[in-house]
Chain A
């Protein structure tokens, strides 16, 4: 793979970015063809953390396979588990108790906040600003602590199970989330003061990595990448699941089509997540946190597809069942995979420095792409 380093017959320089480049956020390998400083082509080489999760799931039961999916998009672990649990519930025609639905949505939104915060810090670091990383992690740690108390884990939570959640909320949960919201509201203006309003930052982001709404749809981009180009794609709004249709929140849309628009979508989305958490934290209904299910789950013969909005976009889970205790075939339509396919289109003709800025706003998580 590395013999590709060198020059082409037209005098273009070919360089390898990654697999161990800090700006690729994991082991992504890009082969970049450069003419001077101008990018002629970017070709991703994937698979450094390919574990063939889809194959693995074929030999795991409907209870077991959910735990593997925490390791796909590890920053949206809750939402991955959620999408899988919903798919199994669709097959079993299982009704989730109201308390479990609220807990699930609360956890999803906390995850989204934590994920966007990590993205914000890491992206600012890619562009040379180190301080935001600490600010982002300061708040993210609090969310992780809250998660740890209830789920027992900080990253791969495995909290959602078919029928509800694994166990009830920790007694401290409500109070700690409220404390967190207070802290967060005191700190949120720092984000804008540190980065958003910074003129150097804006110059590096505006007009960089442009993608039109038509191309967004053609490349199958979802999540903040699509919404940065004004394409409505929020699964929570378009195909509401759990209690999202009863909640008040806005789908964030920006029409800049550039890196700055995608940046603003995520910043504003964090505020919407806070809004959702505020509506729910005092209104967690009493009752069961898990529906009654059989010890061994068997899905009827057929095909089941569920989708959920992760921090990166639309995650689809497609299960083909033959009536047994394990899926016959399972496919994860991961948002990162489709978003990455637009990378070449985003940066072609731009400068190599813009590649970092544009890639940062795609918010790639490599295990989600490789699976």
Chain B
């Protein structure tokens, strides 16, 4: 599906989503409200014309005022790609998990949970993955994280 067709289909699917023009990579970006993410994700995965079955990247960006979840999706049948972004509150970041839709999300969400502190609601196993057991305090990938011993500044 081309980007124009994708834009029309997505517009019909989620009226509240704000679709940005193609970025430097040629991908559309759908900006959605975090509370709509679960139903939007289910439609992306299941609507026959879309079939985004491959979540190839899941990450988070700290913008100091808020966090943004970034999901990179691809359909192996239709060969189209899409970026979905959801803005989260920085003091209490919360979003629904998609681990049951794309199972790769289970590990990726655990990583984002420990490095950014995002709470994934209904996640099957939300525990530390990379950081040592009993890690407490600030999340390492937040911009205001400081480690006087281990951090190298140039």
Contacts and interface: CB of A to CB of B under 8 A. Distances in A.
Given A47-B129, A59-B152, A305-B72, A218 B102 contact: yes
Given A59-B153, A305-B72, A337-B107, A47 B131 contact: yes
A370 B107 contact: no
Interface string A287-326: 0000000000000001111000000001010101000000
Contacts of A243: none
Contacts of A198: none
A249 B102 CA distance: 31
Contacts of A199: none
Contact of A302 (B23, B145, B151): B23
B66 interface: no
B152 A318 contact: no
Contacts of B130: 46-47, 50, 370
A333 B131 contact: no
B102 to A, nearest CB: 6
A219 interface: yes
Interface in B101-136: 102-104, 106-108, 111, 129-133
Interface string A187-226: 0000000000000000000000000000101111010000
A318 B76 contact: no
B3 interface: no
A338 B154 contact: no
A234 to B, nearest CB: 12
Nearest to A337: B107
Contacts of A341: 103-104, 106-107
Q: Is the interface of B mostly helix, strand, loop or mixed?
A: loop
A220 B27 CA distance: 19
Given A46-B129, A303-B23, A303-B24, A55 B104 contact: no
Contacts of A345: 103
Nearest to B103: A218
Contacts of A45: 129
A115 B14 CA distance: 45
Interface stretch (B4-12, B32-40, B49-57, B86-94): B49-57
Contacts of B19: none
A55 B57 CA distance: 18
A91 interface: yes
Interface of B: 23-25, 27, 53-57, 59, 61-62, 70, 72, 76, 79, 83, 102-104, 106-108, 111, 129-133, 140-141, 145, 151-154
12 contacts: A1-B133, A46-B129, A90-B24, A91-B24, A215-B103, A219-B104, A302-B23, A302-B24, A316-B72, A333-B56, A338-B104, A338-B107
Given A47-B131, A338-B104, 11 more contacts: A50-B131, A54-B141, A218-B53, A220-B55, A302-B23, A320-B61, A329-B61, A337-B108, A337-B111, A341-B104, A341-B107
